[in-house]
Amino acid sequence: MSDVTKGFPGPLLHGFLDLCLLGLLVAERDYGYGLGQRLGAAGFGEVPGGTLYPALLRLERGGLVEVAWEASDTGPRRKYYAVTPAGRTAFQEQADRWAAFSRSVDTVVAQAVQASPRRSR
């Protein structure tokens, strides 16, 4: 799958990373590497640890996720993240805001595409 985030400014990506992480954790608890893999599979490309783990820490400090260290069959213990009730509420609120925002962006972009002359290739 292609990296849909390529070319977007970093601050913009950081703005919706929390929403995406909460969404993944609403569906299923996971550890950091697993979350990075799931983001990649969703089209985000590789999310560097220097971006992923500070976001998870921010969510933890905000009370939106809780952590538990668990043994692994294949190596060292893993830090699993699970969404809290406050995290579920925050996810739903952010998802609603995102849906409204993306509809507005889609409207503007669609109007601009309709109004602009097609480039010949």
Give domain status of residue 34, yes or no. Answer: yes
What is the token pair recorded at 98? 């995102």
Give domain status of residue 58, yes or no. Answer: yes
Give domain status of residue 48, yes or no. Answer: yes
* φ/ψ of residue 108, rounded to 5: -65, -45
Give domain status of residue 120, yes or no. Answer: no
Q: What is the CATH number of the domain that holds 27?
A: 1.10.10.10
pLDDT tier at 1, thresholds 50, 70, 90 = very low
Give domain status of residue 20, yes or no. Answer: yes
Q: pLDDT of 27-77, one tens digit each? A: 999 999 999 999 999 988 888 899 999 999 999 999 999 999 999 898 899
Domain extent at residue 59: 10-115
Q: pLDDT of 84-120, one tens digit each? A: 999 999 999 999 999 999 999 999 999 999 998 876 5
What is the token pair recorded at 43? 């089209």
Give domain status of residue 26, yes or no. Answer: yes
Give domain status of residue 87, yes or no. Answer: yes
**Overall number of domains in the chain:** 1
Give domain status of residue 24, yes or no. Answer: yes
Instruction: Output the DSSP codes for 21-74.
Output: HHHHHHH--EEHHHHHHHHIIIII----HHHHHHHHHHHHHTTSEEEEEEEETT
